[in-house]
């Protein structure tokens, strides 16, 4: 990918512009570059469905001390080395993603924005086609036509697992249920190269049970990304006892390469974040059941009182109420602690098919922007 240079003031841009924003002279197009991030700011583009399509304006400094302003579709941090455009051939790895739900789409968007070759596998052709269409809509908000076409050439989307043989790493992100995950992981491993790593994005299912169905559990671990994967910095990295030290190191290094912050956690029910979050969501639902306040008022109180960026009820809608209930049920089963038992209102909404943003209705109506 090219970058554009102003020969008057020396400013450089990693996206197409006709004239310099500083001195209003014509820019010259040059070849791709790279540098170290010395400053970055996030810009969110409002869109339908209460989603944001963020991009990141970063100031890079290259080896000769000159600066370059770039627009990126992935988050970066100060001190991180960034290559503008697609990485060199030697830096590329091929990453597989299993699943076309919220996390599957989010992971593919993150990987494509970071320049990786991606093999995307869904359970049916209609589901992969619909997910691909949604992905193009989101990437189209932060990439120009040329860059988008370039990235799409690096995407192999379908329903066959044969393409996983080309992958260096495969991330499973299907429904948060134990038996389906076991089957997909088992079949995926059979299609992969012997030296490739297989990871699950589970939010807290027992990793030892997932590893038990694999022939090479030493090359298996967990990369728990958070929704939306393109924006959330944290990745909980966990593994069963059978995972090799080399696999753990490679999983952490991969998360860092994406600009994420890997935090190693023990393989415990729901790991750390969801273990703490679920009781908070439950108590917010209890307050709503008892009519202590409206959903909006409860969320506003938590945002302001606890300095959270999002209230627990709107966060539950973002996660998916069905996923929240599954996590809570799993916690009750594995810990025996009734504090995690889903509140009746949660079960009622899920039973009615009101699962949050993905169905346009949960605790909030997401069919139109809220005031």
For 26, residues 6+ apart whose C-beta sits below 8 A from its C-beta are 18, 19, 20
Pure H helices in 238-272:
245-257
111 lies in the same domain as 260: yes
Q: What is the pLDDT of residue 254?
A: 93
CATH code of the domain in which 79 resides: 2.40.50
Q: What is the pLDDT of residue 188?
A: 98
143 lies in the same domain as 218: yes
More reliable by pLDDT, 287 or 92: 287
More reliable by pLDDT, 264 or 72: 264
* 77-81, 102-106, 307-311: least confidently modelled range: 77-81
More reliable by pLDDT, 161 or 91: 161
118 lies in the same domain as 209: yes
Kindly state the average pLDDT of the residues 246-270.
Answer: 93
Sheet holding 155-158, edge to edge: 155-158, 117-121, 94-98, 169-172, 197-200, 220-225, 234-238, 261-264
Q: What is the pLDDT of residue 74?
A: 67
Model confidence band, residue 89 (pLDDT cutoffs 50, 70, 90): very low
Q: What is the pLDDT of residue 146?
A: 83
Kindly state the average pLDDT of the residues 337-353.
Answer: 97
42 lies in the same domain as 156: no
Can you read off the two tokens belonging to residue 370? Answer: 């809220």
User: Is the predicted pLDDT of residue 51 greater than 60, yes or no?
Assistant: no
User: Is the predicted pLDDT of residue 290 greater than 60, yes or no?
Assistant: yes
Q: What is the pLDDT of residue 369?
A: 63
Write down which residue in 83, 116, 142 finishes a domain.
83
* 106-115, 182-191, 245-254, 342-351: least confidently modelled range: 106-115
User: Is the predicted pLDDT of residue 56 greater than 80, yes or no?
Assistant: no
Can you read off the two tokens belonging to residue 288? Answer: 């709503």
Kindly state the average pLDDT of the residues 300-318.
Answer: 95
Percent of the chain with pLDDT over 70: 87
Give the SS3 label for residue 142. Answer: coil
305 lies in the same domain as 228: no
Domain count, the chain: 3
Q: What is the pLDDT of residue 314?
A: 96
Residue 271 falls within a domain, yes or no?
no
Do the Cβ atoms of 54 and 230 come closer than 8 Å?
yes
119 lies in the same domain as 208: yes
Q: What is the 3-state secondary structure (H, E, C) of 157-205?
A: EECCCHHHHHCCEEEECCCCCHHHHHHHHHHHHHHCCCCCEEEECCCCC
Which residue range forms the structural domain that includes residue 350? 278-359
Write down which residue in 264, 288, 320 finishes a domain.
264
Percent of the chain with pLDDT over 90: 63
21 lies in the same domain as 62: yes
- Please state the pTM of the whole predicted model: 0.76
Residue 164 falls within a domain, yes or no?
yes
Can you read off the two tokens belonging to residue 85? Answer: 């455009």
Kindly state the average pLDDT of the residues 245-253.
Answer: 95
Alpha-carbon span 35 to 14, nearest angstrom: 11
Can you read off the two tokens belonging to residue 82? Answer: 């960034």
78 lies in the same domain as 107: no
Do the Cβ atoms of 109 and 140 come closer than 8 Å?
no
Q: How many CB atoms lie within 10 A of CB 182?
A: 17
Q: What is the pLDDT of residue 46?
A: 52
Please list the helix, strand and coil fractions of the chain in percent, rounded to the nearest 5, in that order: 40, 20, 40
Write down which residue in 264, 299, 325 finishes a domain.
264
115 lies in the same domain as 197: yes
The distance in angstroms from the start CA to the end CA of the chain is 40
Residue 99 falls within a domain, yes or no?
yes
- Active-site positions read 203, 224, 236, 274
Residue 166 falls within a domain, yes or no?
yes
Residue 370 falls within a domain, yes or no?
no
CATH code of the domain in which 210 resides: 3.40.50.720
Model confidence band, residue 151 (pLDDT cutoffs 50, 70, 90): confident
Q: How is 69-124 classified by DSSP, letter by letter?
A: EEEESS---TT-EEESSSPPGGG--EEEEE--SHHHHHHHHHHHHTT-EEEEE-SS
Q: How many CB atoms lie within 10 A of CB 67?
A: 14
Q: How is 212-227 classified by DSSP, letter by letter?
A: TT-S-GGGEEEEEE-S
Q: What is the pLDDT of residue 87?
A: 46
Kindly state the average pLDDT of the residues 227-255.
Answer: 94
Kindly state the average pLDDT of the residues 300-324.
Answer: 95
Residue 369 falls within a domain, yes or no?
no
Residue 46 falls within a domain, yes or no?
yes
52 lies in the same domain as 100: no
> Which of 225, 333, 303 is closest to 342 using CA atoms?
333
297 lies in the same domain as 216: no
Residue 299 falls within a domain, yes or no?
yes
Kindly state the average pLDDT of the residues 176-180.
Answer: 93
CATH code of the domain in which 285 resides: 1.10.1040.10
Q: What is the pLDDT of residue 199?
A: 98
User: Is the predicted pLDDT of residue 318 greater than 50, yes or no?
Assistant: yes
226 lies in the same domain as 336: no
User: Is the predicted pLDDT of residue 54 greater than 70, yes or no?
Assistant: no
Q: What is the pLDDT of residue 1?
A: 44
Q: What is the pLDDT of residue 106?
A: 93
Cis amide leading into 228 (omega within 30): yes
Alpha-carbon span 94 to 317, nearest angstrom: 32
Question: Is the C-alpha dihedral spanning 236, 241, 247, 250 positive or negative?
Answer: positive
Can you read off the two tokens belonging to residue 92? Answer: 């590329």
Q: What is the pLDDT of residue 204?
A: 87
Q: How many CB atoms lie within 10 A of CB 172?
A: 25
Q: What is the pLDDT of residue 45?
A: 57
């Amino acid at each position: 990918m090219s970058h554009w240079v102003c020969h008057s003031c020396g400013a450089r841009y990693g996206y197409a512009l006709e004239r310099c924003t500083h001195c209003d002279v014509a820019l010259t197009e040059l070849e791709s570059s790279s540098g170290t991030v010395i400053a970055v700011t996030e810009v969110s583009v409002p869109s339908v469905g209460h989603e944001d399509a963020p991009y990141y304006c970063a100031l890079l400094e290259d080896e000769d001390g000159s600066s370059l302003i770039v627009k990126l579709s992935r988050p970066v941090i100060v001190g991180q080395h960034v290559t503008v455009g697609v990485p060199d051939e030697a830096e590329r790895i091929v990453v597989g993603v299993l699943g076309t739900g919220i996390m599957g789409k989010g992971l593919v968007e993150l990987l494509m924005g970071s320049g990786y070759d991606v093999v995307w596998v869904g359970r049916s052709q209609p589901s992969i086609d619909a997910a691909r269409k949604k992905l193009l809509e989101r990437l189209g908000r932060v990439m120009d036509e040329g860059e988008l076409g370039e990235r799409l050439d690096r995407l192999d989307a379908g329903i066959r697992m044969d393409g996983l043989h080309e992958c260096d790493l495969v991330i499973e992100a299907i429904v948060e249920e134990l038996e389906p995950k076991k089957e997909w992981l088992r079949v995926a491993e059979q299609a992969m190269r012997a030296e490739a790593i297989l990871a699950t994005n589970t939010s807290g299912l027992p990793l030892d049970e997932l590893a038990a169905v694999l022939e090479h559990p030493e090359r298996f671990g967990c990369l728990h990304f958070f929704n939306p994967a393109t924006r959330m910095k944290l990745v909980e990295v966990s593994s069963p006892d059978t995972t090799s030290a080399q696999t753990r190191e490679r999983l952490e290094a991969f998360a860092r390469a994406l600009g994420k912050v890997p935090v190693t956690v023990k393989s415990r029910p729901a790991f750390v974040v969801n273990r703490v979050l679920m009781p908070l969501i439950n108590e917010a639902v209890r307050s709503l059941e008892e009519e202590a306040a409206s959903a909006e008022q409860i969320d506003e109180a938590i945002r302001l009182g606890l300095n959270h960026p999002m209230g627990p009820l709107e966060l539950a809608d973002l996660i998916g109420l069905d996923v929240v209930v599954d996590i809570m049920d799993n916690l009750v089963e594995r810990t025996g602690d009734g504090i995690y038992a889903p509140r009746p209102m949660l079960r009622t909404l899920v039973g009615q098919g009101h699962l949050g943003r993905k169905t346009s209705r949960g605790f909030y109506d997401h069919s139109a922007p809220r005031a």
